[in-house]
Amino acid sequence: MTLRRAPIVIFAAAAIVTIAMGVRQSFGLFLPDMSIGLGIGRSSFGLALALQNLLFGLAQPFVGAIADKHGAGRVVAVGTLIYILGLIGASAAGGALGLHLSFGLLVGMALSATTFVVVLGAVGRAVPPEKRSLAFGLVTAGGSLGQFLVVPAGQLLIGELGWRMALVALAGLVAVMLLLAPGVAGRPQPVAAGTADQTLGQALREASGERSFWLLNAGFFVCGFHIAFIATHFPAYLTDKGLGLAIGANALALVGLFNIFGSWFFGVMGDRWSKKGLLAALYAARSVVMIGFLAMPLTPVTALAFAAAMGFLWLGTVPLTSGLVGGIFGIRYLSTLYGIVFLSHQVGSFFGAWSAGLMFDLTGSYNSIWAASVALGFFAALVHLPIREAPVARLQAA
């Protein structure tokens, strides 16, 4: 894959993530109507999205390895077909089991093949190292643009068509990714000195022996917890407080809008400043924003202000974390190694989506999850400080 293809690869990758993540971020809007229509509790709906997040993560290392061997284009195309099947299956669900199989199993597997891990590997091989963090930030911003555009559209579709036909309409949008898959196609080749003779097994053993790799896993767990909790339950939280679903939809859209700026900002800064320092500051800032939100009276203004602030901090972790993985270990097996780190993110997402619904059903409140989110944010800030950003000895010697 030549550097001259870089603009095409970046555009296609960003567009794929725009659609895949935009549709995914709209799922929280379906919670009230689907819970009533299927006769299930919030914990059952939360479990479906928790399973989705878990499968999203569990499949990442394997999907990443396939993309590292055969290229991202084929992986995205297959993932798109599974995504369509999952959305149509959810539209026909008759109860919790059908929802868990469609929203949970199928959509979770599809997301692993159509989002960051797969496409960032293709982008990383298409751009020079000094521009890599910025390119990752631009692709990450695509996910935010999708959230800004697709979430309000999802609310409109639910209101006009009902939740079942709204899911079918979103499946039609997902099909567009089949046209974009060729843009990230191309069989990966070793692109840097010191990587040509390394096998996948050697890369895995090398990463597993580095403390920094496991610290990145711990921090990304927290990111997943925060995002899944807010994306799944924040609209319902605002509805419970009397603000209405429209404010919740607007809040998620604002998260997407401001994350466009946040992803770009952290992508640019990641090429200039310490990535681990930026990550520590980002996680600490999340906790401070949550404390401020909970301390103020809840109004439409404070809800939307919180959404904007969290949006700026939402996925800035992606270009920084993936940039650290590529910088420390090289990019030959970036999709595989970042896939493992992303698995930790999705384990956190599982607990963020499921535990919030469970605690609400048990206590009638999200207070305990807000407290846990604040504590986890400060924990994540601390674990990033000991990370060693220098490339491994193999790359330094090369």
pLDDT computed for residue 115 by the predictor: 84
Q: Where are the domains of the chain?
A: 3-397
Distance CA 104, CA 37 (A): 18
| Owner of token pair 């022996």 | 209
CB 236 within 8 A of CB 42: yes
DSSP code at position 297 = P
pTM, rounded to two decimals = 0.76
Distance CA 216, CA 310 (A): 21
- Cα distances (angstroms) measured from residue 362 to each of 42, 236, 367: 11, 16, 12
List, for residues 276-294, the tens digit of each pLDDT value. 999 999 999 999 999 999 9
Distance CA 224, CA 307 (A): 17
3-397 CATH choice from 1.10.3470.10, 1.10.3720.10, 3.30.1310.10, 1.20.1250.20: 1.20.1250.20
Greatest Cα pair distance in the chain: 61
pLDDT computed for residue 316 by the predictor: 86
Q: Which residues of the chain have pLDDT under 70?
A: 1-4, 142-143, 147, 187-197, 393, 395-398
pLDDT computed for residue 381 by the predictor: 96
List, for residues 220-260, the tens digit of each pLDDT value. 999 999 998 998 888 888 888 888 778 887 888 788 789 88
Count of all residues that appear for the chain in the document: 398
- Cα distances (angstroms) measured from residue 178 to each of 82, 85, 153: 11, 14, 21
